[in-house]
Chain A
Amino acid sequence: MAKDILEKPESFYKVFERKSGSNKLTSHYCPGCGHGVIHKLIAEAMDEFGIGNRSVFISPVGCSVFAYYYFDCGNIQAPHGRAPAVATGVKRALPDSIVVSYQGDGDLAGIGGNEILHAANRGENITVFFVNNAIYGMTGSQMAPTTLIGQKTTTTPYGRSVKNEGYPIKVCELLSSLEAPVYLERVAITDAKNVMKARKAIRKGLQNQVEGKGFSLIEILSPCPTGWGVKPVEAKKWVEEVLAKNFQLGVIKDKTAEAVPEVIEQKKFTSEEISKILGASKNGSDFLYDKPDVKTNYQNPRIKISGFGGQGILFLGQLLSQSAMRSGYHTTWLPSYGPEMRGGTANCHVIISNNRIGSPLVTETDVLFAMNLPSLDKFENDVRKDGLILVNSSLINRNVKRNDVEVLYVPATELADEVGNTKATNLVMLGAYAAKSKIFSHDCVLFTANETVKRKEFLKVNEEAFRKGMEYVLNNKQKENKEYDSVIFN
């Protein structure tokens, strides 16, 4: 007995303490099963590379769910088929670890088809051992994606039919069409010669990972005498004479020679650096612009801004909100998103308040920015009595129908054109509103615009547009006609 223990590879536990029952020296696998041999070949290769301490072995669902009984390394048991995704999370977190994904045919080629495809396609630097025995062993001999045509299983009692279940999936060939995989080989656990080939392939699969070369998968045709309902000797023979005839043995793809090892740098960041990256310490300390005295009617406005997509509706709202923030107000900005946007109209809700804000939703509106006619049509009636409507009179050729609200007609698009950019219409409107409501200082708005606008070449145009809007209101340059002028400048 002692001799047996000594013959175990170092990367196996000496005693299988996690295994239930009294026998903690032999595996739980059936006589003649391929898993035991494959485990041993892997453990020996781990010994050879001296990677036991830094290896993480991912057990699948299936008979080898208990692989963690045996491997003396970090062990993770993964959901059915998901081992390549779990392995991805492990390897990305621990680039220096050696991550082994051990999977059966149902696990890898059936329920986990997507996970293996994409892990292979990303070229994850992991090693996958794919045990193909053409059957679901643990659940009781049901059909696997690799079950042969005509093969009888408990779910193909009349034999697998191409018409009903399709063809057996050749995983190595399938994955070989991808650019990323470095090494794909199919081996078989049959006679000594084939086992030696399997040993070599398993070793190479791990070596590739140790050297940082990328994704390797070794498909191992393996006997399942219990699942197939035959004696171990017959099972081995069936692998050799039938299974290996359907699944071609040998190297399917090998880019090992030209694979360039990946160098992963892990940099540490200080708290200050992290805060800075997130934008938290831009100016060191917080500062606020003064809140001007605001007429009662203009205090705590609930604002709706509406217009065409492309008129900078959402951005105008953000500038309003951010200027409010920099003046010490509470503020919220809520965009309309989704299907409404796709109709070509956009609107957003802005609330500016001296108090903590409840609902960010603006229904009864204090201030409406109507940037185009459909917006005025849609929202005019939502404005409260004595509320304010800013009308972009360049695009809206009608008067506001209400006579119980204040209206400011601003030829915003024309004024924007005067400064050379139609897109600055929103800034003209903002200038008009700032001048009218005096809710925040002009410096504050300009500071916010500077802070927010990403393309600095627009800063000057924006500032000019803002001033145009402001001056338009301050100079009382209202368009002729509008009977509401008296209301506006009372």
Chain B
Amino acid sequence: MKLFLKGNEAVISGAILAGCKAYYGYPITPASEIAETAAKYFPLVGGTFLQAESEIGAINMCYGAASTGQRVMTASSGPGLSLKQEGISYAAGSELPIVIVDIMRGGPGLGNIAPEQSDYNQMVKGGGHGNYKLIVLAPNCVQEMCDLAILAFELADKYRNPVAILTDGFIGQMMEPVELPKPVENIPAKNWKVGGDAETKKNLISSIYLDFDELEEHNIKLQTKYMKVEESEVRFEEIHTEDAEIILIGYGIVARILQSVIEEARAEGIKAGLLRPISLFPFPKKKINQLANKAKLFFVCEMSNGQMVDDVRLALNGKKPVKFYGRMGGVVPTTQEILNKLRVLDASLQNEDSFADQLTDSYLKI
């Protein structure tokens, strides 16, 4: 039977169904319902919920729990994630599976609590020190908050790597129907864990390699793992890309808006399609490059100063022009304002204007 849930609730449903047994977190708007929902459900399923003394405390409790092989998670929003970065770097270095949810809000600094997508760089590029990557999943609806939470735990264990669920205040706060999948059974045993028993007492969880060569070797091992992730775990959704001249790219709430934009654009005869990255790392760069064989123009929208657009440009490497439209500060663009921008782009495309020169990236309403 379908349930009507907030994104922030569904992510906990997914986590519990995935066999997550512990939640350590610190309250912050607009992610607090995640902690509240965890506080409600974890004790009922024999798990641990603990409101930590700080974001730093929370991520390090996760570090400890993950070391024992337990499926564990935390959640926060931008400012909290900034604080967690130390622990995330250690977890990446020690190869610990931890699921970290970031419900992005407006920044920098205290900013505000409205939705933004300005944590892309800190989550996708590795916000802490060292050569590491998180696997980053970007749900755009409440069902995916649940489903990708389950996937996040699977990937975290499979690759022994922290996995982030990166989305925005709208996806966290909105409610939609959700079909809860069956609980995950048979979670694979972890022979590397520190289990407090004779079998695992030889194990060590650590990120220190004092010897330069050993640390380089460890880094190469990590990079090799990330390459494997790039080969196997790219996820995306396409809408009307087959014959599209203009490919719109966005994730999270923006992808929902772009879906509406494309429906209206198609009705007007504009050949637009949508590519929605579901995994931000690994980024669907091959797919984007492949779409460039047909498409004439790429149009990236974000609720940021343009962070993901860098990855699109890297994927295309100059093959086709890329235009960017961004809103910041918690302003969510409307379907209409993006459609207006798209109309201008399409018109210049049809008139064979040198649109690449004429239209510059824009942060403002047209």
Contact = CB atoms under 8 A, between A and B. Distances in A.
Nearest to A326: B2
Interface stretch (B42-50, B153-161, B219-227, B317-325): B42-50
A76 B64 contact: yes
A361 B201 contact: no
Interface residues on B, range: 35 or more
B48 A93 contact: yes
A76 B195 CA distance: 11
B246 interface: no
Contacts of A56: 68, 194, 196
Given A53-B197, A96-B196, A338-B112, A280 B3 contact: yes
Contacts of A332: 174-176
A278 B13 contact: yes
A363 B113 contact: no
A364 B260 CA distance: 13
Contact of B62 (A75, A89, A330, A337): A89
Contact of B194 (A85, A90, A114): A90
A361 B332 contact: yes
Nearest to B56: A82
Interface-centre pick from A58, A115, A358 (highest chain B CB count, 10 A): A358
Contacts of A273: 45
Interface in A267-314: 267-269, 271, 273-275, 277-287
Contacts of A74: 194-196, 200-201, 203
Interface stretch (A65-73, A140-148, A234-242): A65-73
B207 A77 contact: yes
Contacts of B177: 325, 330-331
Contacts of A87: 64
B194 A76 contact: yes
A55 interface: yes
A18 interface: yes
Contacts of A73: 201
A267 B197 CA distance: 20
A114 B53 contact: yes
A75 B203 CA distance: 7
B349 interface: no
B86 interface: yes
A271 B175 contact: no
B256 interface: yes
A445 B114 CA distance: 32
A196 B265 CA distance: 82
Interface stretch (B16-24, B307-315, B340-348, B352-360): B16-24
Contact of B206 (A77, A98, A277): A77
A90 B183 contact: no
Contacts, number: 237
Interface-centre pick from B4, B45, B90, B197 (highest chain A CB count, 10 A): B4
Contacts of B206: 59, 68, 75-77
Interface residues on A, range: 35 or more
Contacts of A92: 22, 48, 50, 61, 65
A85 B63 CA distance: 9
Contacts of A117: 53
Interface in A245-270: 266-269
Contacts of A360: 170, 174, 176, 253, 256
Interface-centre pick from A74, A269, A330, A331 (highest chain B CB count, 10 A): A74
B336 interface: yes
B180 A88 contact: no
B205 interface: yes
Given A92-B50, A271-B183, A277-B44, A82 B170 contact: no
B257 A85 contact: no
Given A54-B196, A278-B17, A86 B260 contact: no
B62 to A, nearest CB: 6
Contacts of A277: 16, 41, 44-45
B201 A89 contact: no
Contacts of A274: 16-17, 45, 183
A462 to B, nearest CB: 17
A73 B263 CA distance: 61
Contacts of A357: 256
Nearest to B69: A93
B189 to A, nearest CB: 15
A75 B211 contact: no
A357 B140 CA distance: 11
Contact of B205 (A75, A279, A333): A75
A78 interface: yes
A56 B63 CA distance: 14
B334 interface: yes
B208 interface: yes
B53 A118 contact: yes
Interface string B251-272: 0010011111101000000000
A157 to B, nearest CB: 29
A90 B276 CA distance: 38
Contacts of B127: none
A380 to B, nearest CB: 18
B60 A286 contact: no
A89 B65 contact: yes
A275 B183 contact: yes
B180 A93 contact: no
Contacts of B57: 82, 85, 88, 114-115, 118
Contacts of A337: 29-30, 113, 169, 173
Nearest to A68: B204
B45 A269 contact: yes
Contact of B60 (A86, A91, A282): A86
A420 interface: no
Contacts of B22: 89, 92-93
B29 A358 contact: no
Interface in B172-201: 173-177, 180, 182-183, 185, 194-198, 200-201
Interface in B74-124: 86-87, 90, 94, 112-114
A321 B175 CA distance: 9
A359 B54 CA distance: 35
A334 B170 contact: yes
A278 B41 CA distance: 8
A285 B201 contact: no
Interface-centre pick from A114, A277, A335, A361 (highest chain B CB count, 10 A): A361
Contact of B67 (A82, A90, A283, A356): A90
29 contacts: A20-B210, A73-B201, A75-B203, A78-B63, A78-B64, A78-B90, A82-B87, A85-B57, A89-B22, A89-B68, A97-B196, A114-B53, A269-B46, A271-B182, A273-B45, A278-B41, A279-B3, A286-B2, A322-B4, A325-B2, A325-B177, A333-B174, A338-B112, A338-B114, A357-B256, A359-B257, A359-B334, A360-B256, A361-B170
Given A73-B201, A358-B256, 10 more contacts: A52-B201, A79-B86, A85-B64, A93-B72, A114-B57, A269-B45, A273-B45, A334-B173, A337-B30, A337-B169
3 nearest A-B pairs in the assembled complex, by CB-CB distance: A89-B64, A97-B196, A358-B260
